[in-house]
Amino acid sequence: MAAYKTNEQIARELDEMRQRQERLEICGRKLLRAQKTYDRLIESAPDAMVFVNGEAKIASINAQMEKLFGYQEEELVGKDLEILIPERFRAGHRENVLAYFSCPRVRPMGTGREFFCLKKDGTEFPADISLSHLETDGKSLAIGAIRDITERRRAERKIQQNYFIQKVISAVLKISLEPISLEEQLDRIIDLILTIPGLAFQSEGCIYLVESEPETLVLKVLRRFSGSQLAPCEKIPFGKCLCGLAASSRTAIFADCLDERHDIRHAGEVPHGHYCVPVVCGEKTLGLINIFVKEGHKRTPEEEEFLTAIAITLHGIIERHQADMEKHRLIEQLAESEKLSALGRITANVAHEIRNPLSAIGGFTRRLHKRFANGTKEKEYTGLIFTEVIRLEGILRNVLSFSRRAGPHAEECNIIETIEKALSIYGEICAEQVIIINKAFGDVPLIAVDKEQVLQAIENLVSNAIDAMQDGGVLTVTADREVVKGIACVVVKIRDTGGGIPEEDLGKIFEPFYTTKLALKGAGLGLSITKKIVEDHGGAVQVDSKIGAGSTFSLYFPLKPRL
């Protein structure tokens, strides 16, 4: 028999049901508020967030995810997670997801692992990703928080790049203080420039300097040119090609390809670009740094600023080297001046003591020589004595000429006539020794020089050239007008085809009394006298010689000499 409930029992149960309903409604409202709060938290999170199920499908995303990747929510929900991953990283990704769900764990950001993500438009970006696990409604979800770290990576690279740049600049400054040659310094500096990580420099580069030839870049060091890449030009005039344009304008020039500014081209040239950064001192260009980059590379302020900083440092190195060279030159001039002064004092004291007895010996020898019959020993001996007296008198004249203190007596002179006169003196000797004389004269203006001194200088060089060609050869004499370091000059060149001068002797041949000839050929004053005469006229002497190919002596006479 069924039990009946009283009205009181029924009323009590109804009241309990009503209370439970109210509690459920309260819980529902709380749950809804919590859900809204959770959704707001997810939507307001600074990072993009993606919810992934155990099948590697996207279950949900937040607004930051849409903004970062460029997708709408409906375009991603239900799709494979691989849609957000660059293709080269997709292999094995699904297995990694399944392995994560088999052993869920929290992985925070900043673990050092490198990730890349793929946007809707196909662009990639580096990302930092944290992982966490969520169980909801009996379902297991992995939550990924994704942060674009492009700017952070760029800042890190810049900090690292600046560190290496400062390190290289410090190393260059250290090299500048080392007691080594300029070529060694430049050689080490070009290596440092090309070893900075993060800069888009290729492993090719070179450094040019402006040396004796004005407005001309001369290659000093180059580094690691590949077999397919031709070595750069040895000399480049200002204003020609990319390097010359940078040198003449005194500003850095960049090219991302072989454009129309490249006047100088080579067959088989590999496509490339350049940074051409001049080394400048005020209004003067001292040199240039030429660094190769890949074709299509974009110019960056960081790279140019770095090369400019190196160029500024090179400016100090080059100026210091030039100052040292000038100091060395002045010391040599002082030593030579002191040597000449001592020589002058000696010759002043002994000239009369030597000349008078020498004249007496020569006079008596000539008389005796006439008295002896031809073919006798006495005739032979007096002839030898007389020859030696003449040689000693010549040496004495050279010594007196070398120690002369008076400057040149300038007058208008046709240098070609002076050359012709010098050559006529040695015409017979050249014919006897089978020496061919070639002459080539340009349009040479009159110059203000001491005719006798210039004649002596040219005679000395012609005589030396003839002595260098005992078995015959070709003597070439030229005169023309040239501009040297911005100064208009008349240049006389005397070239022989003799044996040449050894490299170890080239630095000594202008020293007084230094000679490589046999004792009977002279006292070693001819070149010293020639150098002194030319320098007294404000000019200079230059020698180029190669063993087996002969020597060329060049005399430079300024059109407006400093007399």
- Residue 113 confidence class, pLDDT cut points 50, 70, 90: confident
**pLDDT at residue 518, rounded to an integer:** 46
Tokens of 233: 């030009």
Q: What are phi and psi of 297, to 5 degrees?
A: -65, 140
Each residue of 363-399: pLDDT tens digit? 788 888 788 888 888 888 888 887 777 767 766 666 6
Beta-strand runs (E) in 195-321: 201-210, 216-223, 235-237, 253-255, 273-281, 284-293
Q: What is the Cα–Cα distance from 270 to 232, expressed in whole angstroms? A: 12
Each residue of 20-62: pLDDT tens digit? 887 877 777 766 666 565 556 556 667 888 888 888 888 888 8
Query: In angstroms, what is the C-alpha Rg of the chain?
Result: 45
**pLDDT at residue 368, rounded to an integer:** 83
> Which residues does residue 253 pair with via DSSP β-bridges, in sequence order?
276
Q: What is the Cα–Cα distance from 551 to 496, expressed in whole angstroms? A: 6
Q: What is the Cα–Cα distance from 408 to 452, expressed in whole angstroms? A: 9
**pLDDT at residue 255, rounded to an integer:** 86
Question: Residue 1 above 80 pLDDT?
Answer: no
Report the share of the chain in percent with pLDDT over 70.
83
Q: What is the Cα–Cα distance from 236 to 183, expressed in whole angstroms? A: 19
Each residue of 219-240: pLDDT tens digit? 888 876 554 445 567 888 898 8
- Angle, helix 182-193 to helix 150-176, in steps of 10 degrees: 170
| Domain formed by 409-558, architecture | 2-Layer Sandwich (3.30)
Please, are residues 496 and 551 in contact by the beta-carbon 8 Å criterion?
A: yes
Question: Residue 124 above 60 pLDDT?
Answer: yes
Q: Which of 81, 93, 91 is nearest to 52 (CA)?
A: 81
Q: Which of 344, 359, 360, 484 is nearest to 402 (CA)?
A: 344
Task: Give the angle subtended at the CA of 519 by the CAs of 513 and 525, to the nearest 5°.
Answer: 25
Question: Residue 315 above 80 pLDDT?
Answer: yes
What is the pLDDT averaged over residues 74-95? 87
**pLDDT at residue 373, rounded to an integer:** 84
- Residue 512 confidence class, pLDDT cut points 50, 70, 90: low
What is the 8-class DSSP label of residue 53? E
The HSE-up count of residue 192 (CA atoms within 13 Å, CB side) is 22
Question: Residue 353 above 80 pLDDT?
Answer: no
Report the share of the chain in percent with pLDDT over 90.
7
**pLDDT at residue 552, rounded to an integer:** 92
| Domain formed by 154-318, architecture | 2-Layer Sandwich (3.30)
**Burial profile 156-190: b = 16 or more Cβ within 10 angstroms, e = fewer:** eeeeebeebbeebbeebeebbeeeeebeebbbbbb
Each residue of 454-511: pLDDT tens digit? 888 888 888 888 888 888 899 999 999 988 877 889 999 999 998 888 887 777 777 7
- In sequence order, which residues have a C-beta less than 8 Å from that of residue 116 and are 6 or more positions away? 85, 86, 89, 124, 125, 126, 127
- The CATH superfamily label for domain 45-148 reads PAS domain (3.30.450.20)
Q: Which of 126, 177, 113, 132 is nearest to 153 (CA)?
A: 126
End-to-end CA gap in the chain: 150
What is the pLDDT averaged over residues 310-315? 85
Q: What is the Cα–Cα distance from 171 to 191, expressed in whole angstroms? A: 11
**pLDDT at residue 407, rounded to an integer:** 61
Strand order of the β-sheet with 201-210 is 235-237, 216-223, 201-210, 284-293, 273-281, 253-255
**pLDDT at residue 495, rounded to an integer:** 93
Question: Residue 103 above 60 pLDDT?
Answer: yes
Each residue of 162-198: pLDDT tens digit? 777 777 778 878 887 788 888 888 888 888 877 766 5
Q: What is the mean pLDDT of the chain?
A: 80
Q: What is the Cα–Cα distance from 522 to 499, expressed in whole angstroms? A: 18
Question: Residue 420 above 60 pLDDT?
Answer: yes
**pLDDT at residue 562, rounded to an integer:** 45
